[in-house]
Amino acid sequence: MDFDDIICELEELSDDDFAKNMKRFGIRYVKSYGLRLPQIRKIAKGCGKDHELASRLWNHGYHETYLLATLVEEPDKVTSTQLDDWVNSFYSWDLVDQACINLLRFIPQACDNIFVWCSAEEEFVKRTAFSLIAVLAVHEKGYDFDKYFNILKEGSKDNRNFVKKSVNWAIRQIGKSNLENNRKAIELSYDILEINNKSSQWVARNALKELESDKVQKKLSESTSQ
């Protein structure tokens, strides 16, 4: 499927009502066709991996073409300049998270940049750092997450909604990866709870509620015994 075919399909599937509804979920955009994520993923399957196509989709400037670009891009062809340009262009939490899931976790430099992005002033650049940690916790077994604990603790102080939620997501995913990481994430959460900061205390309490739950503890114990 080439670029023109993709745009034609997006136009045929466009749904103005759904596009308006997206904003109720905090999804920001300038232009949108109003497609659901499963529809976007289906289109991406017909495209394969294509660096040039990803670039054209990104430059088209619609919410759906940004998402499609993260799905069809070839990770090994992403340059440092492109990586910086894309991440600094992020404008919505769902674009950040999908980019982390679909693309950034496969790019070593992106993982290294966690320690840069975590200090960014821009809300969605900063979210990228913590969302990427969360995604790595889901997909990368045996990964060393201890190195992120200091920046997670510091990041918990950021009261901006999409930052603190990504910090919380990262801690919860680390704590659900195995029993040892669960113990460490719970310990980290109690450390964060001691910070005299409303955002930090929300992050910690929300993480502890899940990580100490019978459901999570049972699941981790069962996975260890198998």
> What pLDDT digit, counting tens, does each position of 95-154 carry?
999 999 999 999 999 999 999 999 999 999 999 999 999 999 999 988 899 999 999 999
67 with 142, same domain?
no
Q: Do residues 105 and 135 make contact, with C-beta atoms less than 8 angstroms apart?
A: yes
Residues 27 and 121 in one domain: no
- Within-domain flag for 96: no
Same-domain check for residues 119 and 222? yes
Domain that holds residue 174: 113-226
- Whether 92 is in a domain gets the answer no
Last residue of a domain, one of 81, 103, 123: 81
* Burial class (CB within 10 angstroms; exposed 0-12, middle 13-18, buried 19+) of 101: middle
Which pLDDT tens digit goes with each residue over 45-85? 999 999 999 999 999 999 999 999 999 999 999 999 999 99
User: What pLDDT is stored for residue 142 in this prediction?
Assistant: 83
**120 and 185 together in one domain:** yes
**Per the confidence metrics, is the pTM higher than 0.85?**
yes
Number of domains in the chain: 2
Residue % of the chain over a pLDDT of 70: 99
Do 221 and 148 belong to one domain? yes
For the record, the structure tokens of 54 come out as 């990803």
* Residue 35 near residue 15, CB atoms below 8 Å: yes
* Residues 69 and 149 occupy one common structural domain: no
